[in-house]
Structure 1
Amino acid sequence: MAVYRKRGHDQGNPHKVRCVVSNTGETASHPRRDDSEPWRACLRDEDTGEILGAGVVLTEGVVLTCAHVIQKAQGYKPGSETPDVAVAVEVMAQDELASARVMPGCWVPPTEDDRGDVALLRMDRAIQPEPRVQLRRLRCPRGRTVHSYGFPYVRAYGIYASAVLSGWAGPGGEWIQIDSVPQREVIRPGFSGAGVVDERTGAVVGIAAIAYHSDLSHLAWMIPVDVVAEYLPAFREWLGPEIPCDRWASPAGAILIAVGAHDEAAVAGIHVPNMVDAAGKSADEVYRVLRDTPASEPRGSEPVGVTGIEQAQEPEKVLDSVVGPMVRNGATVVLRLSDENSPTARLVRQRQRDALRVRIDALTEGVADLAQREDLARTHRRRAQARLRPPPKITELSALAAELQLPLAALRSSVDDTDPDRLRRAVERFERKLDRYLDQVERVAREADAAMLVLERLRGLVASYNARAVQHGLLEDKELEQPLRAAREALDAYPCDLNIAEARVNEYVRAVQHRLRAGQ
């Protein structure tokens, strides 16, 4: 279905929508479409209605897009710091089009190697879609599942594309590579400027920038939101909190037990500067005293201490509804007891072992996470070494997860028989080792990414210069046909000799530059 909408000027209404009926019975002014992401926008040429690309509506009528999308508009004139050209913006779930222009100081056109390429537009009327878009930096992009919604010319109302993020790539390492998902739609021309959405959080983590397609691969790249912020300082006000690495972390703190009168001595090697007296208090009263202490902070912050728990109004409720949540949140809680043989003391020791079991259960998940990351890193390492010539030097991984299986089983079986303080120290040593092994795996993954980055940078150069040639009417230019074919053959070769590929890509780039200069 192809339905065309444009602003009408013939009846004096600058926002009137000209409506065409499609072959499905829908009307262009009221199409049936998914409005779960109302911040999506389609950008069109104001005069012809031709789709230029996509955009992300931020707030109060501000739109983020790629600069090359604006450069495709008929009224665009190169050379100015802020181009004076209007484009039509069709916001999802809106019945009218708005006109938009580049905001002063918010224009970064693509360089020769396609760096930059971002712009902010201001619409002629304030539009604030609800819910508002979330914009968040993705600290660890590898393996994240994403989707995008673009407007290829064959689908005027847009299509979804699903993909998986591979890692940092592109010119200067500014982009993140997007790998297509088999048997799903791929990012293609018409997606430029479209928000790339992280499936887990629903946040926009970048905008689609460029795509490369051949018989062997379907690749695309996005400009991450933090790179956009580096080019456009005005964009920073819309950035939300960073999405942390999706990696194992110990979810629980610890309960330490001290017996006897309070003094300033360290408990199990941990200094406890403040003790809260629970004697005579209800669980709610103890909570109110503790809520403004470091108890609510993650493990590793200043520990909190509680004394007099045996004389509390409800000792077990204090343990389960006050101390328990603090420990699960990662706090280290020191409980000072007056009688190590009291019923409350026995209850405390049981809760102490329960907290250790939670941490050991988490270690089981952590080792499983390590095994998966290990396999993925080895796969990327093998792919890079098989794909490239000369083979890149990438650290070889030993069987790290397998090495941890037996010690983990020993920890799990010793919870009831080992002194809790000794067991806690063993658990902490295991956690530190698991963290070191995860770091090793991440280093190998980064080495594999860096090796493949050279190839993807060359692909990006060919794709960007080919797009530039097409934009200037050189699609069937005879002088460019042979060097383009040679560059693509070198890049698609398996294995790919990087020295040959780089020489052929540079030859094609020079050929395009020569033809563009000749046409000026």
Structure 2
Amino acid sequence: MTTRQPPPPPRDGREPWRVRIRRGGSGPVLGAGVLVDRTHVLTCAHVVTGHEDLMADLVGVEGTPSSPARVITGLSVPPGEDGRGDVALLRLEVAQPPGRAATLRRVALTFDRHVHVLGHPQGLDVGVWTRQTLFGHSGAEWLQMNPRSPTEQPVRVGFSGAGVADSATGDVLGIVVARYGGTSAGLSWMIPVDVVAAHLPPVARWIVGDTGIDPLFTGVRGEPAGAVAELADWLRRRHRGAAVLVVLGDELDAVRQAVAVSSGRTEAGDAPGVDLALDVGGRTVDEVSARIVSRAGLAVHAAESASERLRAGAPPMTIVLDGVDEAEQPRALVDEVIRPVLRAGGRLVLGFRRDGPEGLEAARGLVAESVATVVEAYADRIAALPDNAEWLLRLTALRRAAGLDPAAVARRLGDFERRLARAERRVGRARAIADDRGLLDVLRTVANEHGLAEDLALGEAYRRADAAALDGDRSTTHAAVRAYQDAVRRAVEEKGTT
């Protein structure tokens, strides 16, 4: 069945669930919140902590009563270290009119999703809008947001607790929890609604949307090792771009364990590795499409099916499909669902429970195509390396292996990528040091031309920079050269005033 999404927010920008939180009476605005039902508001803990006389107003909705509000005992989690927590649930004394509550939606929070926020900075109690883009997980729970353009209003004091709404559907994906203290970066963070519910379990009853993980992939115990650890690492490497693996028979147990491992956050704060893990046995093309569309949070128009919406475009997602050979139409599933997701930049693991079924040849064809695309992309990167004869030999060997057994190469690409990235970083460091070395020589010439060749302080600064460049440490060299540059500038200015 196709999942229908609500229409986009009104063109006038009014969203009746948006709440302004202030100190009682005509006190100052403390922050913002989200109306989740007639008598409950979701906000940040730091907005309301220490305040007894809270008031909540629905923003821009005429005839709606303000209401005293209080934090529900036990439902406030202060901000923790490394981007955790900072959520609270309020109860309103005055029930708000029906039909005003937000839709909290759990979705796969992919890069570059457009969202918008209304905050209440000092002097702008009526509110100011900003358009943001979701970027990526930062810390254990929070998600970074960047301004959509240089002219956007920055998220600042007064935005905390504001609902972060998907600009395509109007659904609330999370709330603003923090901003960067600097004046130029414009960075801010939100906490997703499913993480809110993990801290505040009663919030779960107001959340809609696919959890993303079928029961087949849960309940796995033990530390990952061997094939499980390799697959879990592969699933987490979403930044490496589109890729597909085909897994057969007994190997599916390792896939299921890897999903359980990679779908949780690690102590280091890694983002979940899997957006969707489905048992597709017996399912139709449109049923699988509908799960992907729902998890992606895509708007579906009344006249189109989920599979049509998926083919029109989707965000890059990491998806595991178990039992592809037991789907209602395996070949159609590969052609009409898996191929569009791969073309959109997705990473997929396709599980076949037996060898030789319908659809397996097509899936292996996708593996070959994706591997060939990645391998050819390496050619341009290797061409940019100096003294790249050894890397050209490695690339030739990789191409030959990809032609013989693309499935095996698909699993080895991660190691090849890591080695190439290390080589690129070494080249980058060497080039940066060479640039600083060139600047150092130019600065010495400038000093000599101004009659400063015998200046003892300049000579010592030059020797420190020269020694750092010889040692080959990029950061030390850069700092020493900049110090010499400042010393030359000061010496030239002082000489000009005498």
Q: TM-score range by the shorter chain?
A: 0.3 to 0.5
- Kindly name which structure, 1 or 2, has the bigger radius of gyration based on alpha carbons: 1
Q: TM-score, normalised by structure 1?
A: 0.44
Q: When the two structures are superposed, what TM-score results if normalisation uses the length of structure 2?
A: 0.46
More RCO (CA 8 Å, sep 6+): 2
